Amino acid sequence: MSDLDLVRGTLDILVLKSLAGGARHGYAVARWIKRVSDDALLVEEGALYPALHRLERRGWVGSEWGLSENNRRAKFYRLTSRGREALARESASWDRYVDAVGKVLSSDAEAG
């Protein structure tokens, strides 16, 4: 359950961003997004793992098994160079989108 429903396609960019600082396993990705959004965005597992697999399939993230902080086997995802490019591209287009929607919403509807 999340306070804000993620706009379709937004999850992918959030997941990419979460991996920008280094490899993480799925649980850490979800935890990181929750924390940095001040608990506003809760990534559901039912969406997270399909997203990770989708990004891996596109070649934007790679994966390998490693040991978690608690010494348990976990699958770590990391950003590939193509993923890094995609993140930059998608971030820029997200900024333009937010900017445009913001302009519309803050405009004077009476004018024009």
Q: The tokens 């490019």 sit on which residue?
A: 85
**In the complex, what is the shortest distance from the CB of residue 88 to another protein, in angstroms, rounded to a whole number?**
22
Of these, 5, 8, 72, 103, which contacts another protein (CB under 8 A)? 72
Q: In sequence order, what are the residues at sequence separation of 6 or more whose Cβ sits closer than 8 angstroms to the Cβ of residue 61?
A: 15, 16, 19, 52, 55, 77, 78, 79, 80, 83
Of these, 17, 37, 75, 94, which contacts another protein (CB under 8 A)? 75
Binding of another protein at residue 73 (CB under 8 A)?
A: yes
Beta strands at 24-25 and 61-67: parallel, antiparallel or unpaired = unpaired
Binding stretches for another protein (CB under 8 A): 25-27, 31, 44-47, 49-50, 53-54, 57-58, 68, 70, 72-75
